[in-house]
């Protein structure tokens, strides 16, 4: 006799539905993910799904928020030395990117979403917030005497951001043996070296 399906609290169910949506998007693309497929994968009716998300757009936007939230966690670190913090963040990012095939696929699916999905503004805002976090770290490094005061923080933030984006390409295309962790961190060290005081 099959076990009865355990009823989840509303917030738990929403998190579950978002996770299912992300898995479907990674497996079959954003355009190929429908409310019916999400409901079926969750073992609920479409009507039940619509009680949690009023539309496909709302569900997709919640999934995008979750993906960006996961990506933003790379910037969390308590290391007081800014150079060491940026290096530690990059090392964790490399390890995570190379061990998880889903996240880079999701990023590219969301980036190539057609205009009708209306995700561009949301993505711009989230990625801008990440860039500002990197700029704030650079400012802190200047204040602590680690980085030159004359650096263009915005440009350097984009260089570091591009490093993270490169890791997505490395993962999706399977180039881990070409762009090893050592090479990746050497690239970051070169960025930090040119802005450092010592």
pLDDT in tens, 27-39: 999 988 999 999 9
What is the average pLDDT across 54-82?
88
2, pLDDT greater than 70: no
User: Where in the chain is CATH 1.10.357?
Assistant: 68-195
Give the per-residue pLDDT at 93: 84
Q: What is the CATH number of domain 68-195?
A: 1.10.357
* C-beta of residue 63 within 8 angstroms of C-beta of residue 21: yes
Residues 6+ apart with CB under 8 A from 59: 17, 18, 21, 35, 38, 49, 53
Percent of the chain residues past pLDDT 70, beyond the cut: 95
Give the per-residue pLDDT at 172: 84
Higher-confidence position of 24 and 68? 24
Give the per-residue pLDDT at 33: 94
User: Where in the chain is CATH 1.10.10.60?
Assistant: 10-64
What is the average pLDDT across 129-146?
94
CA distance 177 to 165: 17
Give the per-residue pLDDT at 8: 60
Higher-confidence position of 172 and 4? 172
Give the per-residue pLDDT at 48: 93
* C-beta of residue 25 within 8 angstroms of C-beta of residue 102: no
Q: How many CA atoms lie within 13 A of 22 on its CB side?
A: 23
Question: In the structure encoding, which two tokens stand for residue 100, read together?
Answer: 């998880």
- CATH number of 10-64: 1.25.40.10, 1.10.10.10, 1.10.10.60, 2.30.30.90? 1.10.10.60
C-alpha pair distances (Å), 164 with each of 46, 125, 136: 37, 17, 17
Give the per-residue pLDDT at 4: 42
Confidence of residue 6 (pLDDT cuts 50, 70, 90): low
7, pLDDT greater than 80: no
The residue ranges of DSSP E strands in the chain, in sequence order, are none
101, pLDDT greater than 90: no
CA distance 193 to 198: 8
What is the average pLDDT across 173-182?
89
**Block residue for tokens 């990059």:** 90
């Amino acid at each position: 006799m099959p076990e009865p399906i355990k009823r989840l609290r509303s917030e738990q169910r929403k998190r579950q539905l978002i996770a299912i949506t992300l898995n479907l998007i990674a497996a079959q693309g954003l355009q190929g993910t429908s409310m019916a497929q999400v409901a079926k994968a969750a073992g609920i009716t479409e009507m039940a799904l619509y009680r949690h998300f009023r539309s496909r757009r709302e569900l997709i936007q919640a999934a995008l928020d979750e993906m960006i939230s996961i990506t933003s966690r790379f910037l969390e670190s308590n290391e007081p030395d800014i150079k060491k913090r940026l290096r530690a963040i990059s090392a964790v990012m490399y390890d995570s990117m190379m061990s998880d095939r889903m996240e880079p696929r999701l990023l590219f699916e969301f980036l190539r979403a057609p205009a009708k999905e209306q995700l561009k503004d949301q993505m711009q805002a989230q990625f801008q917030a990440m860039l500002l976090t990197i700029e704030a770290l650079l400012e802190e490094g200047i204040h602590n005497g680690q980085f030159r005061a004359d650096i263009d923080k915005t440009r350097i933030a984009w260089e570091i951001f591009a490093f993270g984006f490169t890791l997505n390409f490395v993962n999706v295309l399977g180039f881990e043996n070409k762009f090893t962790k050592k090479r990746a961190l050497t690239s970051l060290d070169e960025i930090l070296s040119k802005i450092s005081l010592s």
